[in-house]
Amino acid sequence: MAFLIQGFIDGLRPEPRLTVTEWANAHRVLDSKAAAEPGPYKSSRTPYLEEIMDKLSVTDITRKIVVMKGAQIGFSEVGFNFLGYVIDVAPASFLLVMPTQDTMERNSKMRIAPMIEASPRLREKIGPNTKKNSGNTILQKEFPGGVLIMTGANSGAGLRSMPIRFLMLDEVDGYPMDVEGEGSPIGLAEQRTATFHNKKIFEISTPTVEGLSIIDADFKTTDQRYYYVPCPHCGAEQTLKFSQLKWEPRKWDEVVYQCEHCGDLIEERYKPTMLSAGRWQATMLENASIYTVGYHLNALYSPLGWKSWAEVAQQWDDAQGNDSKLKLFYNTVLGETWKEKTDAPEWERLYERRIDYPLNKPFKEVVFLTAGVDVQGDRLELEIVGWMPGRKTQQIDYRVFMGNTSNHKNDVWQELNKVVSEVWEREDGAALPLRLLVIDSGYNTAEVYKWCKQFSFSRVIPIKGKDTLENYFAPPRVLDTVKHGKKIGKQKIWLVGSSFIKAEVYNTFRQVVDPDTGEVPDGFCYFPQARDANYFRGLTAEIQQDVRNRKGYINRVWVKKYDRNEPLDTRVYNRAAASIIGMDRWSESRWKQEAEMLATAIPIKETVTQPKKPAQKSKPKSSYWNR
């Protein structure tokens, strides 16, 4: 009863003139479990956040604050300061929405509960989480004069709750576009604030993909504010842009910022002074509302001791040639959307750069061979690839074995047996056997497993593509093998990141030899004159697109633009094989060691009897691709 009376009295009091910034500096304590710098909160550490927190205060007329940001610049604490301020000095109903119910529960346990426990003023307002205290649960916290409701954007029930004065929408680019057939979760949540003339809506997120990013679209409807800082040399104001970071290759610790006005170089040690003297400026005043403001900030503003310019430079260099890493850089470092490269490499360019070399004759630079096999109902298709330092590749051969693959004892599988034991003579006479053959088990799975069992895992392994695996492969798993619904044994299988590898493979296809120096870039792929146009159409048969699924979430999917995609699949399998062998962990000295071992080997013609070549009918024919 006393609790209710106190809440009534608190509700009658006029709201204080205190701002969120002032409250946080006076009362917020950062917990050691959730903060890198535990102790009393100091807004001077991140001065660019003060205006935003002031806009969230009840003393300001702003009704909606939109923030598009990078990572590691302190914005998560703004939301918690806003929440603590409401609980302590401006009690009312507060709705906090995160992308999913699971992420919301995790955030409640790992961030909000420790914040309440670490800050005495909040601990006084919210009782301990016990069975007797039903007002403090994982997804609901009651306090005098108000209540905090926490929900996932995928929960229609959570978004249809009571009227809400304060609303925080966190990481909105992870929200579905539609929740349970009722429309946008943002729209549903904002409807809860309709009856409050003094509402506050705080929308915040790192962006995702151009054209699909919610935060990007909403930021463009605001006055679009950017943080301008003065140059310590000339005093001219400017926003921090990634293009102005300067460094020598791999000398990241020497990175500097070049003033766009005077051209002088600025060391990062000047950053605290620059940040404290900075100010927000609106860049889009036309049709802007005084009740809605928007902010953009990238990770170059991160305070000393957090994300450094050296880390930014290294992350950029490490991301070159990898679209997944570049997308992460644009989203989380620059705070910008990523424009998808939806087009595959032009097959015509690959076709034009073929060179005339004999099939099945590895270059003298080739260190090891792999083979990737794709299984269809009426054939086996395989590519044999030679690997050189710098992940350069030479296609040794591409073969199509026609025949029924529904029984591992059929002739078509016997042709594949010969490939496993085949040995290739390098240009300098060294003998190269297959280091590893991988075969896809997605079709005629039981027969693939049976065929693989006759070889050791050091020579042949079955694989299965997994689009969501963000790596070349996962440690092998033991699966039950089933026939006619009954378990008949177990099989070890390797999952490979098919989508992850395709993105890298396409990047290698875009590599070109420098026309002036003749330098061959890392990852360059050599193809023989024997391959026809249809082969290269198959090699670039898919494009990657980000689309929203039926539930409204963004999914990145590969879509066929040409039916025959087996050349692409077999190249993906070869890349997985090279990684399973351990190539991605090889140092320069390891590559030299492997090459030296081959160089000292006795020439193949003196010691090795070449196996019979497969019958001509099983060799690739250009007419196959022209059918």
In a domain, 554, yes or no: no
Q: Are residues 298 and 439 in the same domain?
A: no
410 vs 33: CA distance, rounded Å: 62
C-beta neighbour count of 524 within 10 angstroms: 19
Residues 425-462: tens digit of each pLDDT: 999 889 999 999 999 998 888 899 999 999 988 999 99
Q: Does the residue 543 lie in any domain? A: no
Of 118, 189, 195, 130, residue with least CA distance to 154: 189
Overall number of domains in the chain:
2
- Does residue 559 lie in a domain region? no
Provide the pLDDT for residue 487. 66
- The predicted model scores a pTM of 0.64
In a domain, residue 578? The reply is: yes
Both 316 and 354 in a single domain? Answer: no
Domain boundary among 310, 333, 356: 333
Same domain, 321 and 366: no
For residue range 165-203, list pLDDT tens digits in order.
999 999 999 988 878 777 789 999 999 999 999 999 999
pLDDT in tens, 277-324: 999 999 998 878 899 999 999 999 999 999 999 999 999 999 987 777
What's the mean pLDDT when you consider all of the chain? 87
Clarify whether residues 316 and 352 are in a common domain.
no
User: From CA 352, how far away is CA 359, in angstroms rounded?
Assistant: 18
Do 214 and 79 share a structural domain? Answer: yes
Q: What is the DSSP letter of 357?
A: -
Tell me: pLDDT of 9 over 60: no
Does 577 map to a domain? yes
For residue 205, the SS3 value is strand
Look at residues 308, 333, 358 and tell me which one is the last residue of a structural domain: 333
- 328 plus 364 within the same structural domain: no
Q: Are strands 431-440 and 237-238 parallel, antiparallel or unpaired?
A: unpaired
Residue range(s) defining the domain that contains residue 262: 2-333
User: Within a domain: residue 176?
Assistant: yes
Q: Are residues 357 and 256 in the same domain?
A: no
User: pLDDT higher for 481 or 139?
Assistant: 139
If 0-12 CB within 10 Å is exposed, 13-18 middle and 19+ buried, where does residue 165 land? buried
Q: What is the DSSP string of 521-586?
A: PTT-EE-BTT--HHHHHHHT-EEEEEEE-TTS-EEEEEEESSS--HHHHHHHHHHHHHHHHTGGG-
Task: Establish if 552 belongs to a structural domain.
Answer: no
- Is residue 550 one of the residues assigned to a domain? no
**Which of 298, 333, 368 is the C-terminal boundary of a domain?**
333
Q: Indicate whether 136 and 174 sit together in one domain.
A: yes
Could you tell me if 224 and 95 lie in one domain? yes
pLDDT of residue 620 exceeding 60, the answer is no
Can you read off the two tokens belonging to residue 345? 């490499």
* Cβ contacts of 591 within 8 Å, gap of 6 or more: 367, 389
* Helix 20-27, helix 75-89: angle, nearest 10: 90
- The SS3 assignment for 292 reads strand
Say whether both 293 and 371 belong to one domain. Answer: no
Provide the CATH number for the domain around residue 190.
3.40.50.300
203 and 67 in a common domain? yes
Residue 567 in contact with residue 538, Cβ under 8 Å? yes
